[in-house]
Structure 1
Amino acid sequence: MLSGLLKFILGVSLAIAVLIGSGVAVALYFMNRTAIPPAKPIFSNDSPAVQNKSPKATNKETASSSSDSATPNESAEALPPGAYRGRVTWSEGLSMRAEPNQDAERIGGATFNQRVIILEESQDKDWQKIRLEGGTKEGWVKAGNIERVD
């Protein structure tokens, strides 16, 4: 009788220990899974062609910036009056819009550290019209995300 009672108490305590251990293991697993940031989402209105060309444009941009520094007179003549050169400082890049408002059509983008030419600013100074350096595409971006470079 005593050995049967001892076996019962030992079995119940062992079962409780196994349940607690597995519960802790499952809790740690889910806690670690939530600590991993998710992958950047791809939305249906994102253009894969623009995303794939962005790194290439950055490489071309680096090559064109070295040629610009070799001939500063040519690059100074290429700028329209009142325009200046800049560099995108927003780490996620910028969306170029057809008009200076958030609801306007997205016509392209500029990647982080990409060099651009600032052509003008909106009347309220919230938007800047830019042209990608080495290209002809122009569009409006939110002001404050571009740093002036000389």
Structure 2
Amino acid sequence: MFSNLLKFILGFFLAIAVLIGSGVAVALYFMNRTAIAPPKPIFANDSPSLQAKSPKPTETQASSNSSKEPTPSPSATPSPTESPKEPLPPGAYRGHVSWSDGLSLRSEPNQDAERIGGVGFNEKIIVLEESQDKGWQKIRVEGSKQEGWVKAGNTQKDDE
């Protein structure tokens, strides 16, 4: 009878020790998993300095193998004393970039299209057209011939 009581007590303490040990192991596992910060995502309309720090390998290879002009970085807002305003095409309107980090100009209206340049915050633009799904706008940088597609919602129409 004494041996059965001893077996019961030892078994009980052993079970408690296993439960506590496994609980501590699980807690440490999840604490370590949440302590590791994920890499910062880079979005298409991030400033060029962030994109230059971590280029994709395919972009680096494509840019070194192509004979295209280098992609221009966003320029400062032109001063109002520059050349007079050019006439607008039918259906176009003047605006400015409202996204604080500026925008990437794309060759086509989709996220995977080639980046052909950039437009800085508050820079004057001309919105030429919108895509059929209204998710993209074709713009021209005012004072230059640079045209491309940007995500809709990141520009504002200017009141003239």
Residue matched to 1:66: 81
Pick from 45, 54, 65 the counterpart of residue 43 of structure 1. Answer: 54
TM-score under structure 2 length normalisation:
0.54
Structure 1 runs of 4+ aligned residues shifted over 2 Å read 40-51, 65-68
Q: TM-score, normalised by structure 1?
A: 0.58
Question: Is 1:78 aligned to residue 87 of structure 2?
Answer: yes
Tell me which amino acid in the other structure corresponds to 1:58.
A
Report the counterpart of residue 33 of structure 1 in structure 2.
Answer: none
- Residue 134 of structure 2 corresponds to residue 140 of structure 1: no
Equivalent residues of 2:71, 2:117 under 8 A apart: no
Instruction: Give identity over the alignment, percent.
Output: 55
Distance in 1 separating the partners of 2:81 and 2:90: 23
What secondary structure does 1:87 align onto? strand
Q: In the aligned structure 1, how far is the partner of 2:71 from the partner of 2:137?
A: 24
Residue pair 2:71, 2:116 contacting (<8 A) in 1 also: no
Code of the aligned partner of 2:121: F
Instruction: Give 1:43 deviation, angstroms.
Output: 2.7
Matches for 1:25-40 after TM superposition, within 5 Å = none
Number of aligned pairs? Answer: 98
- Report the Cα distance in structure 2 between the residues aligned to 1:109 and 1:67, rounded to whole angstroms: 20
Q: Secondary structure at the match of 2:81?
A: helix
Deviation of 1:78 (Å): 1.5
Higher percent of residues as helix: 1
Is residue 105–residue 119 contact of structure 2 (8 Å, CA) maintained in 1?
yes
Which of 83, 86, 96 matches 2:105? Answer: 96
Unmatched 5+ stretches in structure 1: 1-39
Deviations 1:41-81 (A, max 9, x none): 32325999633xx3xx325x12xx3346xx5xxx3x62111
8 Å CA contact 2:97, 2:119 repeated in 1: yes
